[in-house]
A and B are shown apart, each in its own frame.
Chain A
Amino acid sequence: MISLKDVEHVALLARLELNEEEKEIYTKQLSDILEHARKLQDLDTTGIQPTAHVLPIKNVFREDKAGEHLPVEKVLANAPEKQDHYFKVPKIV
């Protein structure tokens, strides 16, 4: 029920590069899992509100006050590549 083309499209959306073997495996495995999920369609959910989150919490605000923040060196400490005070990435355009 899910095609190789679907898998290629979803992989692109997810920014994953899959080889031919992976594409084939995922086509089969995702189909199996989604087949199992089809039984949800048997349930009538008319008028049922979706639950994204179980707590009755809405917006949580804090006081609008400047707090502490990490120094630049610490922010950059885990960067694969950096220059001066910036993260460095390959050419964009």
Chain B
Amino acid sequence: MQLHYLTAHQLHDMLVNGEISSEEITLSVFNRIEQVDERIRAFITLTKDQALQQAKKVDLARLAGDKLPPLAGIPVAVKDNICTKGVRTTCASKILYQFIPPYNATVIERLNREQMVIIGKTNLDEFAMGSSCENSAFFPTSNPWDEKRVPGGSSGGSAAAVASGETVLALGSDTGGSIRLPASFCGVVGMKPTYGAVSRYGLVAYASSLDQIGPFARDVTDCALLLNTICGHDPLDSTSAPFDKTDYRTLLDGDIKGMKIGVPREMMGEGIDAGIREVIERAIDVLSGLGAYIEETTLPHTEYALPVYYLIAPAEASSNLARYDGVAYGYRSEKARDVIDMYMKSRSEGFGPEVKRRIMLGTYALSAGYYDAYYNKALKVRTLIKKDFDQAFKKYDLLLGPVAPCTAFKRGEKIDDPMQMYLVDVCTLSINLAGIPAISVPAGLSGNLPVGLHLMGKPFGEEDILRVAYAFEQNTDHHLKFPSL
């Protein structure tokens, strides 16, 4: 039986009814990986033995009459910048290629508590820095819709694995679009929760004021279920927000009558491919038809998000990545003469070009004489960007637009020009700067490649986002289209 394109909620029903076992589901996913991962290359590490053990445990629990949590026994893949106890966590970097964490990230503890089956660690741009998954120190991942194209980044492995049926669910992290962009490019659902909604404990830090872990799924219901599992306050993360958790799935009723949605004109203007705009306009028609009230609005400082992001994120990265010095863990150069030389050589040999570029940029922006002109200026403009959203959310429940200005591009097309690569994130960066939640939902194809609809909500407004995403999904069939592999 072909199980790999079923959703978690479908599989859960089959599990509970005894039609299938978690072991069968897990084996089916590993069979699929054997069939297609040679071409897709979504995984850095597979944990088949542990996965099968966990699956059998769930099957025994069910036979013993235990009530299974909604995602028990369901396969999930984890981006390889999230620490897994005893399982190599590389960040797709030479500097961490042998690192075995002695502890689990909080989200991993939560997957375990839910009795999910972790099947492996997925590829990414080194340290989550990139938009194409080409910056992995190991190998690039391919887009399942067209193997010559990139899956988007940085969580490209997780998105490609969900899209190709190599897993049912996956976790990624999003600092400037790293969940939503690959979700859009691969035609799956991907969500960046509100900053502070999901614990960052055990997520290898890139830019701490922007990083957030979130779910990948093949439909909105599954996305809501995985968000249920991972979100909530964590005392181990001092930036984790205390907030009232709701069961997001129970809010998915398809009713969006009277909801007010704004379309920022800055996200639909020039620079956005015409094919993308068409798909988004059709999505607007669908939502209007369901009774949502939709009109154009403005976020005047949108054009500044890119320079603000590319000062703040590298500045934080330069500080966060100072810890890779070859002393306590990670790669150490053999050639060092003394301790300073060891730092210099280990870092230079261990980091790839994009990581070095961002460390250089961040160090420059924070250095004496440039701090005020660059870093501090960027923090002030970040305030203006956030105020734009505050203003818009006085009037609207949600904002809507495209996730990316283009569909998946060809491997090698942008890798030599950092500015061109950075521009791919032009619609997603401001969401991280403002700390708000946003989702990418499959909205159709443009030239045979998927396009994601970007729904952006108020802080802790995940409910509204999921409600509208679900209504859209239930009235379209984009989530039922799969790449032919």
The reply to whether A89 and B327 contact each other, CB–CB distance below 8 Å, is yes
Q: Is the CB of A43 within 8 A of B381?
A: yes
A43-77 with Cβ < 8 A to chain B: 43, 45, 48-55, 57, 60, 62, 70, 74-75, 77
Q: Complex formed: what's the CA distance from A2 to B419 in Å?
A: 16
B434 in complex: contacting residue of A49, A54, A87, A91, CB < 8 Å: A54
Q: Which residues of A contact B373 (CB under 8 A)?
A: 41
- Chain B 335-348 near chain A by CB (<8 Å), digits 1 or 0: 01111111111011
Residue interface mask A7-42, B partner, CB < 8 A = 1:
101110111111000100010011011101101110
Q: In the docked arrangement, what's the CA distance between A22 and B348, Å? A: 11
The reply to whether B359 and A87 contact each other, CB–CB distance below 8 Å, is no
Do A14 and B380 touch (CB < 8 A)?
Answer: no
A55/B374 contact (C-beta < 8 A), A16-B356, A30-B360, A90-B337 known: no
B282 to chain A, nearest CB (A): 33
Query: Contact at A15–B196, with CB atoms within 8 Å?
Result: no
Residues 330 to 381 of chain B near chain A (Cβ within 8 Å): 330-332, 336-345, 347-348, 351, 353, 356-357, 359-361, 363-364, 367, 373-374, 376-381
> How many whole Å from A87's CB to the nearest CB in chain B?
5
B364→A45 contact, CB < 8 A: no
- Tally B residues with Cβ within 8 Å of A: 70
Does B447 count as interface, using CB distance less than 8 angstroms? no
Q: A7-B360, A89-B327 are in contact. Are A49 and B348 (CB under 8 A)?
A: no
- Partner of A11 from the list B241, B328, B360, B379 (CB cut-off 8 Å) is B360
In the complex, which residues of chain A have a beta carbon less than 8 angstroms from the beta carbon of B357?
Answer: 26, 29-30
B379:A51 contact, CB within 8 angstroms: yes
Q: How far is the CA of A15 from the CA of B379 in the complex (A)?
A: 25
Check A75–B304 contact: CB distance below 8 A: no
Chain A positions within 8 Å of B459 at CB level: 54
B386 to chain A, nearest CB (A): 6
Given contacts A14-B318, A77-B100, A78-B328, contact A45 B380 (CB under 8 A): yes
Q: Report chain B residues within 8 Å CB of A92.
A: 338-339
A16-B356, A57-B241 in contact; A48/B338 too (CB < 8 A)? Answer: no
Query: CA separation between A22 and B342, bound complex, in Å?
Result: 19
Q: How far in angstroms is the closest Cβ of chain A from B204?
A: 13
Contact present for A54 and B328 (CB under 8 Å): no
Given contacts A29-B418, A70-B102, contact A90 B341 (CB under 8 A): yes
Question: Are the C-beta atoms of B339 and A14 separated by less than 8 Å?
Answer: no
Q: How far is the CB of B359 from chain A (nearest CB, A)?
A: 5
Asked if residues B344 and A39 are in contact (CB atoms below 8 Å), the reply is: no
Bound Cα distance A32, B251 (Å): 47
B384 at the interface (CB under 8 A from A): yes
Q: Is the CB of B364 within 8 A of A10?
A: yes
| CB contact under 8 A between A33 and B310, given known A51-B379, A54-B435, A90-B336 | yes
Could you list 19 further interchain pairs (A-B, Cβ under 8 angstroms) beyond the known A16-B360, A50-B383, A70-B103? A6-B364, A13-B367, A16-B347, A16-B356, A18-B348, A26-B356, A29-B418, A33-B310, A33-B422, A40-B311, A45-B377, A54-B195, A55-B195, A62-B235, A70-B102, A78-B329, A79-B328, A80-B327, A90-B341
9 examples of A-B residue contacts, CB within 8 angstroms? A2-B364, A13-B367, A16-B356, A18-B348, A30-B364, A37-B307, A40-B378, A48-B380, A57-B238
Q: Which of A's residues lie within 8 Å of B, judged by CB?
A: 2, 6-7, 9-11, 13-18, 22, 26, 29-30, 32-34, 36-37, 39-41, 43, 45, 48-55, 57, 60, 62, 70, 74-75, 77-81, 87, 89-92
Sorted nearest first, the 3 A-B pairs with minimum C-beta distance are: A54-B435, A50-B379, A78-B329
Residues of chain B touching chain A, judged by Cβ–Cβ distance below 8 Å, are: 98-100, 102-103, 195-196, 209, 235, 238-239, 241, 301, 303-304, 306-308, 310-311, 318, 322, 325-332, 336-345, 347-348, 351, 353, 356-357, 359-361, 363-364, 367, 373-374, 376-384, 386, 418-419, 422, 434-435, 459
